[in-house]
Chain A
Amino acid sequence: MALDSKIPPGPIEKKWEYAKAHYKLVNPANKRKYDVIVVGAGLAGAAAAASMAELGYNVQCFVYHDSPRRAHSIAAQGGINAAKNYQNDGDSIYRLFYDTVKGGDYRSREANVYRLAELSVDIIDQAVAQGVPFAREYGGVLDNRSFGGVQVSRTFYARGQTGQQLLLGAFQALERQIGLGRVTMFPRHEMLDVVLVDGQAKGIVTRNLVTGAITSYAADAVVLATGGYANVFYLSTNAKASNATAIWRAYRRGAYFANPCYTQIHPTCIPQSGDFQSKLTLMSESLRNDGRIWVPKKAGDARRPDQIPEDERDYYLERKYPSYGNLAPRDIASRGAKEVCDEGKGVGASGRGVYLDFADAIKRIGRKVIEERYGNLFEMYQDITAEDPYVVPMRIYPAPHYVMGGLWVDYNLMSTIPGLYVGGEANFSDHGANRLGASALMQGLADGYFVLPVTVGDYLAGQLGKKVSADRPEFKQTQAEVEQRISKLVSAKGTRSVDSFHRELGNILWELCGMARTAEGLKKAITDIRTLRDQYWRDVRILGTNEEPNQALERAGRVADFFDLGELMCIDALHREESAGGHFRVEYQDKGEAKRNDDEFLYVGAWEFTGDNSAPSLHKEPLVYEELKLATRSYK
């Protein structure tokens, strides 16, 4: 199937307007006749579910948490970008568009990114109207701060809890619609498959996480907003339950998976401290506004940081990228840290760490201002490490954080399965090969509040009178397959826990498909993953039954899908013989900088599932740059 990105005609700044003017509409009296399923209630899901319910559609929203407010959007710390130009520093929609495309190393779709930049300003208005307590100046106006990869201050924030506050805005809008009876909420329900009727998405199959009941739900359209898959690495900054099952099941039913190898390793996380560790904790990128990153110049220097004189420190980001300094984009900052640690200059017991030092900032603006800006982050750091970052520099190291890859969607956020829409981190759409800081919240909310409510309507308008019921054989068939898979896992009765396999898978991917990738390593990773996966299905141990709350069983299904997805990541990384953004192939570099190959790889790589025992097939969506000129990214 040829990929049709459905980019509207006309100049870039008129495309969204054109699209909105040409979408089909549903008559207000007819909207209540349509059922829409939304899976996930993070920023994209909650915003979409609430906004579509406000329009009058019947919405059913499914989450595996006990409450929609638990989604991992809640943990985003630093902020949300918007091209408001409140600081009068030369910002504009065009500049946000340009920064995002450049930050993504010219591997994103221009039209989508421009729309994202346009909608950014509406998001701030919407959030403020809902009561999101963004930080303010003494005069009462909104405050901004800077983030990586840009030279303007366009990031809005609510202390270090911006994701929490934005999610609560969307959650409260959703709860209002639940109270009004326009959204039916299904907490503690995990989606385990999507159901196709005549090739169109018409429902889902879920497992009730309390009773184990497997049930089918029918609707006129399905929206997946189920987040990213960085937990494929086992240790990541994602929440423990974050998983790829919903999008992976959709992939197996015909939705193409785009750019799976584009994963983001975030530069500022607390280093791992032991084998017991269950996750890694992010320290917001906003800290790079005031913190300076350095390592000792001499390898193996074991002196305390305060005993290393200024001229024996290497502020390597400031040295290598004088114009962006510590605010270089994430992929570049992460590779920089890996490089100095590989040279033996890393700090901390493991040698995998660099300093993020606030001493200069405290001298310049005082402890009180630092406390105000980052107080909760400093506390969290101290809770975890038992070190006081006001006195001793923080130690940080890169960790898997976000994925730019995801299900392929067209301009309308519809996947290659008609009627199946994908929003937020779950789709591939806006960030190319590297996402800039404070852009994930922006994208989730743009998709949820402003894009999906109109584009889903465009599809629904053609579905009048085509309602299907969950009694159809397609539902029964899919449900039977879900049940079979669960019983296969439960009956394996092997010797090893789910987590022990997950850790091992994570190690393979971190070592061979992490910050630096080679053809040889990726081939080895693919073989290793296949061997481990075979062992998994034979030897995994899940105690208890399906018919009760069973957290090991929940994880088992997710990890099974991570095996397959991990393999696809490596296949994609192997085929992409260039470096771009977060995808760094050692063979293709220019003295440590990513070296793109626009002649051969200027496309979105979208993979089609062809069966368990056959190789996925690759479809290419060429990336056409009409507005911006392709250039080598430089932050020097």
Chain B
Amino acid sequence: MDLTLQVWRQASRTAEGKFVTYEAKDISPDASFLEMLDVVNERLTERGEQPIHFEHDCREGICGSCGMMINGIAHGPAGGTATCQLHMRHFKHGDEIRVEPWRARAFPIIKDLMVDRSPLDMIIQAGGFISVNTGSAVEANTLLIPKAVQDRSMDAAACIQCGACVAQCPNGAAQLFTSAKVAHLGLLPQGQPERYERVVRMVEIMEEHFGSCTMYGECEAVCPKEISIDFIARMNRDYIAAKFKNRKSEANG
């Protein structure tokens, strides 16, 4: 199939960007969206033009590197998939496709479709972990966890930190990402000792970098791992509860 692409080109963070039109001819419907861009890039290289820069790595939908706005939708029209697993059979011959980088104040552009998503790591640094040093673990089966709890925790843990939720949100909020980690750890018995400190620390760093959540729900709609917006409600509940709890006095009995 033949397609017309309008791709955002921007040489650096401070350079001025613009849409450039490219023809993508003779594309196999079995190719992934990124493989289609590979073909365009090979032709650009042949013509002596710098290839379009975009992030990608595993191309199996799990590393979270790739992501772009495709006709205004993060990761494109298929739903429940990362850009690398979006295949061209979802488009038809003659389509015009507009390709842009993630749009969010927290994610400045590095080049073309590459953006800096490091504030997401900062949220994890603030508390997205269980504090257990190597060597101090107890025998794994001394901890019994109901299957339903484990499954729910796994649903949240499936997040790939691609940033689509932020990019699609009109407010540029990172609630879905943050709440998924809060729920993954907060649902498990291992995560209980730090449950309330964790949510406060993560939410505070999140608010430093990202916009506010007003429950548009667009994040859930584009999440490649279909993470549920219910986790945001759960995070808010934990956050409010944390404000009423004084963990120190609780420890003192």
Contact with B along A182-213 (1 / 0, CB 8 A): 00000100000000000000000000001000
Contact of A179 (CB < 8 Å), options: B63, B64, B126:
B126
Contacts of B188 in A (CB 8 A): 131, 133
Which chain A residue lies CB-closest to B34? A278
Complex-state Cα separation, A453 to B143, whole angstroms: 27
Contact with B along A383-423 (1 / 0, CB 8 A): 11110000000000000000000000000000000000000
Complex-state Cα separation, A582 to B61, whole angstroms: 28
A75 near B58: Cβ-Cβ < 8 Å: yes
* B70 CB to nearest A CB, Å: 15
Contact of A281 (CB < 8 Å), options: B11, B45, B60, B143:
B60
* A603 CB to nearest B CB, Å: 34
B59 near A137: Cβ-Cβ < 8 Å: no
A131 near B59: Cβ-Cβ < 8 Å: no
Known: A137-B147, A175-B129, A239-B57. A70 touches B139 (CB 8 A): no
Chain B, interface size: which category? 35 or more
* B202 CB to nearest A CB, Å: 11
Contact with B along A104-122 (1 / 0, CB 8 A): 0000000000000000001
Contact of A240 (CB < 8 Å), options: B31, B56, B146:
B56
List B107-146 residues whose CB lies under 8 Å from chain A: 110-111, 114, 116-118, 120-121, 124-126, 128-141, 143-146
Contact of B144 (CB < 8 Å), options: A47, A122, A139:
A139
Contact of A129 (CB < 8 Å), options: B53, B132, B147:
B132
Contacts of B110 in A (CB 8 A): 210, 549
B57 near A65: Cβ-Cβ < 8 Å: yes
Which chain A residue lies CB-closest to B130? A131
Q: Does A50 contact B (CB under 8 A)?
A: yes
Q: Which of A84, A241, A449 has the most CB of B within 10 A?
A: A241
B45 near A541: Cβ-Cβ < 8 Å: yes
Q: Does A548 contact B (CB under 8 A)?
A: yes
Contact with A along B165-192 (1 / 0, CB 8 A): 0000000000000000000110010110
A176 near B129: Cβ-Cβ < 8 Å: yes
Q: Does A621 contact B (CB under 8 A)?
A: no
* B71 CB to nearest A CB, Å: 19
B145 near A175: Cβ-Cβ < 8 Å: no
A125 near B139: Cβ-Cβ < 8 Å: yes
Chain A, interface size: which category? 35 or more
A500 near B42: Cβ-Cβ < 8 Å: yes
* B212 CB to nearest A CB, Å: 24
B111 near A543: Cβ-Cβ < 8 Å: no
B130 near A54: Cβ-Cβ < 8 Å: no
B49 near A278: Cβ-Cβ < 8 Å: no
* B160 CB to nearest A CB, Å: 8
A131 near B191: Cβ-Cβ < 8 Å: yes
Q: Does A525 contact B (CB under 8 A)?
A: no
A161 near B124: Cβ-Cβ < 8 Å: no
Known: A131-B185, A165-B157. A276 touches B28 (CB 8 A): yes
A449 near B153: Cβ-Cβ < 8 Å: no
Contacts of A278 in B (CB 8 A): 32, 34-35, 38, 59
Known: A65-B65, A126-B137, A449-B134. A133 touches B60 (CB 8 A): no
Contact with A along B227-249 (1 / 0, CB 8 A): 00000000000000000000000
Q: Does A513 contact B (CB under 8 A)?
A: no
Contact of A72 (CB < 8 Å), options: B55, B63, B190:
B63
Contacts of A90 in B (CB 8 A): none
* A155 CB to nearest B CB, Å: 14
B121 near A126: Cβ-Cβ < 8 Å: no
Known: A72-B57, A131-B188, A543-B48. A142 touches B140 (CB 8 A): yes
Q: Does A589 contact B (CB under 8 A)?
A: no
Q: Does A380 contact B (CB under 8 A)?
A: yes
B58 near A172: Cβ-Cβ < 8 Å: no
Known: A136-B150, A165-B157, A549-B110. A128 touches B190 (CB 8 A): yes
Complex-state Cα separation, A133 to B133, whole angstroms: 18
A549 near B147: Cβ-Cβ < 8 Å: no
Q: Does A309 contact B (CB under 8 A)?
A: no
Contact of B125 (CB < 8 Å), options: A84, A165, A178:
A178
Binding site of B, secondary structure by majority: helix, strand, loop or mixed? loop
Q: Does B207 contact A (CB under 8 A)?
A: no
* A70 CB to nearest B CB, Å: 5
Contact of B35 (CB < 8 Å), options: A176, A277, A386, A549:
A277
Contacts of A179 in B (CB 8 A): 125-126
* B28 CB to nearest A CB, Å: 5
Q: Does A351 contact B (CB under 8 A)?
A: no
Contact of B190 (CB < 8 Å), options: A86, A129, A165, A241:
A129
Complex-state Cα separation, A75 to B78, whole angstroms: 21
* B236 CB to nearest A CB, Å: 21
Which chain A residue lies CB-closest to B115? A66
A383 near B63: Cβ-Cβ < 8 Å: no
Q: Does A551 contact B (CB under 8 A)?
A: yes
* A320 CB to nearest B CB, Å: 31
Contact with A along B74-92 (1 / 0, CB 8 A): 0000100100010101000
Known: A168-B157, A552-B51. A130 touches B45 (CB 8 A): no
Complex-state Cα separation, A240 to B30, whole angstroms: 19
Contacts of B158 in A (CB 8 A): 161, 164
- Extra contacts, 20 of them, besides A74-B58, A383-B61 (Cβ < 8 A), are A72-B58, A74-B62, A75-B60, A125-B140, A126-B134, A126-B135, A129-B137, A131-B185, A172-B124, A241-B57, A276-B31, A276-B36, A277-B35, A278-B59, A384-B32, A386-B30, A449-B134, A450-B134, A543-B49, A549-B53
The 8 nearest A-B residue pairs measured at CB: A140-B144, A129-B137, A172-B129, A179-B125, A125-B137, A51-B134, A133-B154, A239-B57
Q: What would 12 A/B residue contacts be, using CB atoms closer than 8 Å? A: A51-B133, A70-B58, A122-B137, A126-B134, A131-B190, A138-B147, A140-B144, A164-B62, A172-B124, A276-B38, A385-B30, A543-B50
